[in-house]
Chains A and B, each alone.
Chain A
C-alpha cells in the first residue's frame, strides 16, 4: 500500500499472508464488523474494504472477483457484478450503487495488518 497515512490508525492483526488465496479475498472479523481483505498477488498489493456490498446490503465483497480496469485495481460483487475501485472504494459501474469504505493494509513478517481509523485497542506499531 502506498497511501500516505495522515490519520492515526490502529493496526489490527488479521491473519497470516498464506491464509489469503492468491489473487483472491477473504473476510476478516473485526469486532462486530466484517472486512474484505484481498491478496492481489499479480500486482504485489494488498487491499481491504468493507465486506458489505452497498447494492443489496449483502456480506459478499470478499467473495468477489478482483481484477483491473484501465490499470485501476477493482473488485466485482458476486451477486450483481457491481464493480468497485480497490484504491478508494468508489463504485465504477454505470448505474452507481454507493461506494465501499477502504482500509490501509500492511504486511510485516508474514502477518497481515489492517488499519482501523482512530481505533484504540489492539494497538500495534
Chain B
C-alpha cells in the first residue's frame, strides 16, 4: 500500500508513528513531503526556543528515525500539485510519486490581515523556528514591541518579547477583551491585571489602521486616531488553513477555508484524507494538537482496515505562561437558562473562577479559571467523565471548608477510560496498568512507557497522583526517597546517621548512599548533621555540603552580593548598638532596612567584606542572626507589661529568653516565634511556628502557624502554663519536628500531614504518649549547650576567612561585575540582565 503524506508537522509525524504501530498486512510504502528544512518538531513548545531550547531539543524524531522505519522523507520540498486521476503528487524538486492513499497534513499559516505596512522590516509572524530566529536577531536592536492579537498565541508571543529583553510590550486586541474564544468578560479583566503586572500593556477594542516607518517599523496607527511607537511587531491574528493544494485539485473546501472532511476524515475524494489544522470537520477547524493527534489515529485505524470515526473534540486549554494561570474547559460560556453558574472572584489576589453546572446540580458542564488553575485537571476530568459533584458544588472552586481534604472525588473516582493525557490519547487505565503490569514506579518511567505527559505536559501532576494512588492500592510502600543518591526518607536517614554516629557528609554518603551527591541531598545531610551534633557548620568536609547561603553564612542576593543580619533578640536594641549598625553600614556602603522580623538587614555586602563587617559587629556584642539558615530566625515580641497598660506579663524578657535558647538550632526549615503580652496579640504569635500569648494565669502555647504563601493560623497546644513548662513543651515539640519532618517542610505543612493532627501532637508533647519527652528535653539541652556563634568562629580563624574572597588568585579584589543603582538616597542591586 503506497501512502503519501503531505506536510511533516506535528500531526503528519504522528500519523507516521501511528501507521507503524498498526497491524497493517500489506507492505507499507510511506513517502512524506515537508516544506520546512527540518523534520517535524514540537511547535506547541516553540517559545521554549527563547529559553535556550535548540531545534534539536524540540525535534520529535531525527531524520534517521524515518530512514530506520523505511519512510522516504523529502524535506525542503513542498508538493506543488496533485493529479487525482493519475493518483500522483509532484514536488518542487521534481519528484512525482504515485499513491493509493494521500493524506494532507499541511497545517495552517498565520493569518496576516491586510494592514498597510505589514511588509516592513521588524514585522513578524510566530509559527516556525525560522520565524523565531528572525525575531531573535531583530530583538537585539529593538526596545518596544507589540503584538496584534490577544488570544492564546498572541499572549505567548507577548511574553516571548519580554523574555527577549524588550522593555515595553503591548498587546493590541480588536475584540473588547482578551482570549475572547476561551474566557468571559470578568475573567479577561482579571487576566489583563495579571499581564499588566508582568509589564505587558493591553489595548482592547483597538483596530490597527497602518504600520508606519520607512523600511523598518517605527510605529502603529489605529483607527481611533491614536498612535503607538514600536520597533518590533508580531502578528498573531488567527490561523488560515493551508488548503491551496486541495483547492487546485478540486477538493471541496469551506467558504472561509479548510479542507472539508467527513467522520472518517476523507475529503470529497475518498482516497484523499485531511488531518490536523488544515481539516474542516463539521464547520470547525481544530487549532490544537490533541484533536490533530486523534485525527491521525482515526486515519491510521481506517487504513489498517478497522473502523473509527472522529466525532469532534474537547477544546479545553490552559495558557502556558509562567506566572499566569488561565484555563477554560468544557463549555465555558453556557447561558443562564441551560446551566447554573457559580463564580468566585477575588480581586485582591487576582483570582477568578467560574463553573457551569447542569440545572439539576449533578454535572459539571464547563468553566473558566484565572489566577489559580491548580484544579484544572481534576475539573476537566469531572466535566468530561460526568463525575458526580460534591453536595455543595461551590467546594470545587472554593476548596472544602473546615478541612484540608480535597473537594470532589479525586483520581480514584475517575472511570478507567477517562482520557488523562489528551495529547497522546492515554487513559487512566493505561497509566494504572503501566504501574501494575509495566512496573513503572516514577513519572519518568510512565512517560517512557506510555508517552503520557510528553505533549503539553499539563497532565503530569495527575499522572503522579494516579501513580501514587495505584501503588498504594497495591499495598506498595510509596517511598519518599531523597534523591538518586540516597534511598531513604529524611526521617530514616536522620535515624541512621545518629545510630551510626556519622559526622561528615562524605562519611554519610560512603556509608549510606551512592554516587557523588547533589544540591538536594547535600544541604539536607548538612542540616541533619547540624540538628544532631550542632557543630560549627563550616567544619572541614561539611563546608561545601552547605547550601550556598549557609556556606557563606549570608543570603546571596541579585548581583552576587550578600546580606548581613545580626541577631536582635526580641527586637530589643540599645541606642549604642543601633549606632554601631549605622556606622558599619556607612563604612561598607550597605543598604539598610528594618525587616518584617523586628530587626535590621544590611544588603549589598561584597563577599570579601563579610568577615570584616562581622568582626566589627561581633566586637560590639552582636552575633549571627542566622537569616541564611534553616534555623531559628526571630522571636518577635510586643512591648508587654513593662510599658503597655494591657500587658499581663513581661513578653519582651520571655521572647529574649526563647530566642537565646533556640538560636542556631538547625531544622528541616526555618523556625519563627513570637511572644505577645496579651490577647490583643501585637506580636502576631498565632502566625508563627510556635507562638506564646500571655494569659491571666500564665502562657498559652500555639504551634504550627505559618505566614508565607499559604498562611495558616497556629493551633493551641497547651493553655495557662508557666514559663518552665512552656519551654519544656517547646523543646519536645521542636525535637519531634526536627526528627520527623520532610526536608524544607515548615511546621504547618508538617502538621497537616501528621496522622492524628494536633491531637496526636498534644498527646506526644503534653501527655508524653511516646515516652520520649525526657530524651527530647535532654537532646535539646545538649544542642543549646553546644551553641557557638558561627560568624565568631569564622572571624577568629584565618583559614576560614580565606574562603570569603571572590578571586582565589587575587584575594584583595572584589567582583568587578557587581553593579548597584541608586534609589531613595540608598543603593539597590542592578536588575537582572
Residues of A within 8 A of B (CB): 14-15, 19-24, 26-29, 34, 37, 40, 42-43, 54, 56-60, 63-71, 73-74, 76, 78-79, 81, 83, 91, 95-98
**B545 surroundings in chain A (CB, below 8 A):** 23, 65
Alpha-carbon separation in the docked complex, A21 to B545 (Å): 11
Q: Which residues of A contact B808 (CB under 8 A)?
A: 14-15, 19-20, 26-28, 37
Q: Which of B282-290, B548-556, B648-656 contacts A (4 or more CB under 8 A)?
A: B548-556
Do A29 and B48 form a contact, CB below 8 Å, given A22-B540, A58-B559, A68-B518?
A: no
B519 proximity list for chain A (CB < 8 A): 64-65, 67, 76, 81, 83
Cα–Cα, bound, A98→B729 (Å) = 51
Return the contact of A63 from the options B57, B523, B541, B552 (Cβ within 8 A). Answer: B552
Contact of A96 (CB < 8 Å), options: B57, B540, B813: B57
Expressed in whole angstroms, the Cα–Cα distance for A71 and B818 within the complex equals 35
Question: Is the pair A97, B506 in contact by a Cβ cutoff of 8 Å?
Answer: no
- The distance in angstroms between the C-alpha atoms of A79 and B555, with both chains bound, is 10
**Shortest distance between the CB of B44 and any CB in chain A (Å):** 15
A82 CB to nearest chain B CB (Å): 10
List 16 additional contacts besides A67-B517, A68-B485, A76-B518; criterion CB under 8 Å: A21-B803, A23-B506, A28-B807, A29-B809, A42-B516, A59-B815, A59-B817, A60-B560, A63-B556, A64-B519, A65-B544, A65-B547, A67-B519, A73-B516, A83-B519, A91-B52
What is the number of residues of chain B that contact chain A, defined by CB distance less than 8 Å?
Answer: 43
Q: Which 4 residue pairs spanning A and B have beta carbons closest together?
A: A24-B544, A78-B548, A67-B518, A68-B516
Q: Which of B510-528 contact A (CB under 8 A)?
A: 515-519, 521-523
Say whether B83 faces chain A, with CB atoms less than 8 Å apart: no
**Which B residues are within 8 Å of any A CB, using their own CB?**
48, 51-53, 57, 484-485, 506, 509, 515-519, 521-523, 540-541, 543-545, 547-549, 551-552, 556, 558-560, 803, 806-810, 813, 815, 817-818, 832-833
Q: Is the CB of A28 within 8 A of B832?
A: no
Can you spell out 22 A-B residue pairs with CB atoms less than 8 angstroms apart? A15-B808, A21-B544, A23-B506, A24-B551, A26-B808, A29-B807, A29-B809, A29-B813, A34-B807, A56-B833, A57-B832, A58-B559, A59-B818, A64-B548, A65-B544, A66-B516, A67-B521, A67-B522, A71-B515, A74-B518, A76-B519, A78-B547
Cα A68 to Cα B515 in complex, Å, equals: 7
Q: In the complex, are the beta carbons of B548 and A63 less than 8 A apart?
A: yes
Residues of B within 8 A of A59 (CB): 560, 815, 817-818
Determine the chain A residues whose CB is within 8 A of the CB of B818 once the complex forms: 59
Residue in B57, B519, B552, B813 whose Cβ sees the most chain A Cβ within 10 Å = B519
Docked complex Cα distance between A11 and B556 (Å) = 32
B51 and A96 form a contact (CB under 8 A): yes
Q: How distant is the Cα of A95 from the Cα of B807 in the complex, in angstroms?
A: 30
- Cα–Cα, bound, A19→B802 (Å): 9
With A96-B52, A97-B51 given, is the CB distance from A68 to B517 under 8 Å? Answer: yes
Cα–Cα, bound, A66→B521 (Å): 11
A40 & B516 in contact (Cβ 8 Å cutoff): yes
Give every chain B residue within 8 A of A91 (Cβ-Cβ): 52
**Nearest chain B residue, comparing its CB with the CB of A56:** B832
